[in-house]
Structure 1
């Protein structure tokens, strides 16, 4: 079956390409928006009532991206641009005859989920390289979302820029007023006094999921595909000048431990000071320094009960490591729609620094990061000193990265990482490349050798991934090889000692035969086969053949999918998912999968993934249910229940339940004052975890935090159940000053 798949995919690709009338190339005549220079300051209040706004011409008409590519919008959007010596201003009017009644927003989280909100999104390409963009977005309540995009492939989603926005909601729609300091933007120093930048704006009217854009792009891409962008003209930015941000903090904490014996004192308190410095040396170069780095305010990891043979990838959530992550964090990984296969490889994974294997913090003494970016050449380095803690010695970390852009959107690069401890070093050397083979085809490659000096052990990890994506289908083919001795101590790989082949295809059908077009957006069936062999022996290891004959996407954002998955497994050693011991041997079984979600923007949203059928030598019913209740954007609750019911599985014919409960709550006075809480209970280890955080952004990117963390674990000691508890109260204040 797998051997015949390339010919099937080639045939489908050729046929669909011939049918792909609405997949188009960038227009040779780019839409323009003219900025107007003013000498006064604009009060950013969302009202757009200053007389200066009358001087700026409105943007051209937007064009639909969703649900009807290329059609005129049903709801008009106007963009105006002003600037002075300090700020670049945007005034945006989102017209809607239903006014406030049509506005959708589920919470006040910065960097919110864009699928749940009304929003406008600005993409700015100041270098005109048609590859990279700074992105600034807001919902109708003035909640900010910003990111850096590179080739519409890698994103620094958690980059937080210094800018301001206020909004106003009326009976005829909503308006947004945005002020971005020139110092927040990165742009070249040019001899020309007047500049033009790549620029695009898109709006999502969430009530009907109508997505419109100033400059249209195929819906398979995003608004950061900057070769489709329009132009922002008549800009006269001040020459780039000294740009330094200093962000010191003060922290005090109190800790209390119960039943830890001599491992921890009963009471402890501490005071800590430190901070970060960011120096934008010029338009291309940024230096970051950090001392006594603290991440107390970072979101807690959400636990996962894993029943697969792949390691779970937990995302980075610490701000210092999130910035410029796209330069150092190149990776090949599965996408949210299941495409690409299950293999996940990232040569540099920043969670290897400052965290132990359980996710507990290890103190960072100091560190620095230098990054240079241009339209052709990018390079950077990270150096971190990690303090010794518990049984771990002090450790030095170094990462060096260089990449060169060529062609329209091609790139080659290299990375080296070194983890140095008293006993020796672990070294990774990586070469990588990304190649766009036309508008819809791409090839991504990563090849790494690892060397551990104290053992002399060497290993290899390599992965190549091809995509062919357009408005009618997505085809992919991923090949991976990871040897048994591969040891990327500063990276992440989801599975070792494996050779993987993971092709697949997802269809996107919106044609004339689609029924119920008033509610149904698309029929998107898919076939996602995966085949794995053991690299050290060449013998068969695993085959999955998931087929989704039904996948329906609705115009509301709801979806329903059904899949059937025949699986073969060859185990050479004991496999223990969630404490259930499964003996080596050959197994064949069949599972059924159900995926569904209601409209995620509504007050109540229910989603679930449910899997039922056989599992190795027994049965497994596995489900994950999520229920969100957001009566107003200021208040939201999210409950999650994950259940795995094993029946007659493994060597001991085990029948058991493993349950995970997660409750998250958020209360917001406004986008700047919020109280959040997370409670997690896992029956696998009889543990309860609480995380409560009050945050106040009293000035842009300056915060006061009050945090309470509690962990409860039931331990068996001499046949007696003993409860260990740890409580932590943290107060932290940070103050960002820009010079």
Structure 2
């Protein structure tokens, strides 16, 4: 494909998306909940005994989403909302439809939605059906909060200050919460917010919402919110400045590299400054992320780098402005590239809404030099701007710059990995129709680097249709061989990709099966000479039972023409030659048990061919038992058995990970887990104690050890004690 052909393909894709219908009125505009100032002080205790609650309007008569979306809910839920000068209040009465205990995992914050009896609030303070906030709780009182983006996705890594209380009765459980206006972002003077409420009752396996949502979409879909109608504009949050200092002490002993033990004593600070009611400035000086849990290890049989998500709080609020540009394997910006191999000295981030149609994100981070590796100081800058078009679509641009300071003579690995600068510029159009049936994206990226001479580029597009039964999609990608994104995640370059997919669901009138149907997904990769290098087609059949258990069977065809030498075990050091052709098929099955049981389990297996006419057998499973709501125990295991011709022969890997989650209260948590990874010959032990002594203020104690399995020899160990306090001025 020459440059002219690529241009017309990209232009045609853009016109197809732009010509699709994107206009329309808000679907659930008739669902309105009036909210008025409380007639009395509100005490958050889970008891509805204040006059303010008696005077509040009630949202009731929820609609069923699952198992069917054609009737009212059989489980009654009543919601009241009110406010004063400081807080937005919500009180929810969750009635029981059938007798019996509630089902929850634990008291841990940000629980798994499908494994807990819970109630969630989805709030769109701009009424743009794209961005917002979510708050909620499970029936034992564990809190849930997250920032919403892309019209219905929730990032649970976001934390802020708010309080809530759950109280249980024989026939119901009540959740009451106070959300400070200073903890959310909203447009000054706006009197109509998008809002919806979601209830999951595992005893009846019923999911419901106040404003109806079709069953093919999550209850979080902001396209289907009703309206919260204020009696007067919400109070201004006033001066909104939060200072979050921390003090950390730690000890590190790197025995494997014969390094002297060292102590760490660090002091740093974060600050959150509300530039406006919808725009926030985050500042950080000498940040520390020792409270962040280590990544869950994976057996890597892939030819390309694996992706691990960002967990650090500083990068998360409005993180979609930066991190969601592109696709899962074409990310021009990936915040984990900053600060994991060098200390962050300081940083600033401006993010949020300028008005109803415009959003902005701007970030600047400075890292220090690392003498041990010769890595110089680096500066990272990102600017992202997003403009809403039509009702729920948007156009965005992004600019990314990485610059190196004092890049003099360094060690050889650093010279091979880092350049003096790397820059990216990108533009994308995100389509979302008013009813969410059509979604898609058209994007283009260009990189600038001393190594590529400024010619690296990407273009890609996708279009997806999702109705009640049919889901169909098309996607294509082009990544040039010289495209570079040193602050991004682009594990593969120099290819074209075509990716059609199709799924159909049947909804039988059955007391045991909720839905079932076939799924097919194909990925075709081509090199720059338009020669096919990869063909991966997967056929599956999925079944969801009314108990919420899932069963899937699948078959897969693979054809790989290697473009570079590759070790199919990622362990032995022996490689298959480039341009060798490999073809095989495999099949497998997966089962996930119903979440209501105290004992839960999942299992999957796969058997078939592999590279070099070999064979691969994989068995994965996880079992768990909970003493609700205080203790959850689990064990995950992954076994791979690979049979190849000489010089590999038979290779097998175990990856085993027991875990214990103990929630003494909803403010005191202990997590302990081990990971034995035979592929990298390592045992990792991690223990973290967290005490949330005030909202968003914590004390952490974290132990991390790594061992050589045989003999059981310590490679390195560390301990960190960290105190952080959220002070709102």
Give TM-score scaled by structure 1 length. Answer: 0.89
Match of 1:520 among 498, 502, 513: 513
Q: 1: CA distance between counterparts of 2:212 and 2:289?
A: 40
Report the equivalent of 1:313: 307
Deviations 1:331-367 (A, max 9, x none): 454xxxxxxxxx62222110010114xxxxx311000
Say whether the 8 Å CA contact 1:133–1:150 is kept in structure 2: yes
Change (3 A) 1:77 1:591: same
Report the equivalent of 1:329: 323
Say whether the 8 Å CA contact 1:448–1:462 is kept in structure 2: yes
Say whether the 8 Å CA contact 2:318–2:352 is kept in structure 1: no
Say whether the 8 Å CA contact 1:62–1:212 is kept in structure 2: yes
Q: 2: CA distance between counterparts of 1:643 and 1:738?
A: 49
- 2:500 is paired with a residue whose SS is strand
Report the equivalent of 1:359: none
Alignment of 1:344 onto 2:329: yes
Say whether the 8 Å CA contact 2:90–2:177 is kept in structure 1: yes
Alignment of 1:289-304 (within 5 A): 289-304=283-298
- 2:90 is paired with a residue whose SS is strand
Moved more, 286-295 or 439-448: 439-448
Alignment of 1:515-594 (within 5 A): 517-535=510-528, 537-548=529-540, 550-577=541-568, 578-580=570-572, 581-584=575-578, 585-594=580-589
Deviations 1:359-401 (A, max 9, x none): xxx3110000011413211112110011122312111111111
Alignment of 1:599-638 (within 5 A): 599-616=594-611, 617-638=613-634
- 1:525 is paired with a residue whose SS is strand
Deviation at 1:642, TM superposition (A): 0.9
Deviation at 1:39, TM superposition (A): 5.1
Change (3 A) 1:571 1:602: same
Q: 1: CA distance between counterparts of 2:278 and 2:682?
A: 48
Q: 1: CA distance between counterparts of 2:97 and 2:154?
A: 35
Report the equivalent of 2:71: 71
Deviation at 1:57, TM superposition (A): 2.8
- 1:346 is paired with a residue whose SS is coil
Alignment of 1:35-74 (within 5 A): 35-38=35-38, 40-74=40-74
Deviation at 1:91, TM superposition (A): 0.8
Deviations 1:660-717 (A, max 9, x none): 11122111111110000121111112111111010000000000011111112369xx
Deviations 1:530-550 (A, max 9, x none): 111123x432211012111x2
Deviation at 1:283, TM superposition (A): 1.6
Q: 2: CA distance between counterparts of 1:175 and 1:183?
A: 25
Say whether the 8 Å CA contact 2:105–2:111 is kept in structure 1: no
Alignment of 1:343-422 (within 5 A): 344-356=329-341, 362-373=342-353, 374-389=355-370, 390-391=372-373, 392-422=375-405
Q: 2: CA distance between counterparts of 1:28 and 1:724?
A: 60
Match of 2:471 among 466, 469, 474: 474
Alignment of 1:123-138 (within 5 A): 123-138=122-137
Q: 1: CA distance between counterparts of 2:182 and 2:39?
A: 18
- 2:321 is paired with a residue whose SS is helix
Change (3 A) 1:426 1:506: same
Match of 1:493 among 474, 490, 495: 490
Alignment of 1:144 onto 2:143: yes
Change (3 A) 1:444 1:287: same
Alignment of 1:690 onto 2:682: no
CA RMSD of aligned residues (A): 2.1
- 1:688 is paired with a residue whose SS is strand
Deviation at 1:437, TM superposition (A): 4.9
Q: 1: CA distance between counterparts of 2:231 and 2:195?
A: 12
Change (3 A) 1:395 1:349: same
Say whether the 8 Å CA contact 1:331–1:344 is kept in structure 2: no
Q: 2: CA distance between counterparts of 1:325 and 1:678?
A: 28
Q: 1: CA distance between counterparts of 2:114 and 2:156?
A: 15
Give TM-score scaled by structure 2 length. Answer: 0.90
Say whether the 8 Å CA contact 1:26–1:217 is kept in structure 2: no
Q: 1: CA distance between counterparts of 2:320 and 2:544?
A: 30
Deviation at 1:173, TM superposition (A): 1.9
Q: 1: CA distance between counterparts of 2:202 and 2:460?
A: 38
Say whether the 8 Å CA contact 2:123–2:134 is kept in structure 1: yes
Match of 1:734 among 707, 711, 724: 724
Change (3 A) 1:202 1:438: closer
Say whether the 8 Å CA contact 2:525–2:535 is kept in structure 1: yes
Deviation at 1:130, TM superposition (A): 3.0
Match of 1:239 among 231, 236, 254: 236
Report the equivalent of 2:417: none
Deviation at 1:600, TM superposition (A): 2.8
Alignment of 1:202 onto 2:182: no
Deviations 1:406-430 (A, max 9, x none): 1011111111111111441011111
Deviation at 1:735, TM superposition (A): 0.5
Q: 2: CA distance between counterparts of 1:464 and 1:300?
A: 34
- 1:563 is paired with a residue whose SS is strand
Deviation at 1:442, TM superposition (A): 1.7
Alignment of 1:225-304 (within 5 A): 225-236=221-232, 237-261=234-258, 264-265=259-260, 267-304=261-298
Deviation at 1:233, TM superposition (A): 2.2
Structure 2: give runs of 5+ residues left out of the alignment: 1-23, 408-419
Say whether the 8 Å CA contact 2:152–2:222 is kept in structure 1: no
Deviation at 1:457, TM superposition (A): 5.7
Report the equivalent of 1:88: 88
Q: 2: CA distance between counterparts of 1:734 and 1:725?
A: 30
Runs of 4+ with >6 A deviation = none
Say whether the 8 Å CA contact 2:81–2:88 is kept in structure 1: yes
Report the equivalent of 1:338: none
Q: 2: CA distance between counterparts of 1:626 and 1:295?
A: 29
Deviation at 1:135, TM superposition (A): 1.2
- 1:398 is paired with a residue whose SS is strand
Moved more, 653-662 or 50-59: 50-59
Alignment of 1:168 onto 2:149: no
Deviation at 1:212, TM superposition (A): 0.9
Deviation at 1:572, TM superposition (A): 3.3
Deviation at 1:142, TM superposition (A): 1.7
Q: 2: CA distance between counterparts of 1:29 and 1:394?
A: 53
Q: 2: CA distance between counterparts of 1:394 and 1:656?
A: 42
Q: 2: CA distance between counterparts of 1:608 and 1:451?
A: 46
Q: 2: CA distance between counterparts of 1:78 and 1:437?
A: 31
Moved more, 452-461 or 559-568: 452-461
Q: 2: CA distance between counterparts of 1:674 and 1:566?
A: 45
Deviation at 1:128, TM superposition (A): 2.3
Say whether the 8 Å CA contact 2:129–2:151 is kept in structure 1: no
Say whether the 8 Å CA contact 1:309–1:495 is kept in structure 2: no
Structure 1: give runs of 5+ residues left out of the alignment: 1-23, 334-342, 357-361, 716-720
Say whether the 8 Å CA contact 1:151–1:409 is kept in structure 2: no
Alignment of 1:434 onto 2:434: no
Deviation at 1:60, TM superposition (A): 3.4
Report the equivalent of 1:667: 662
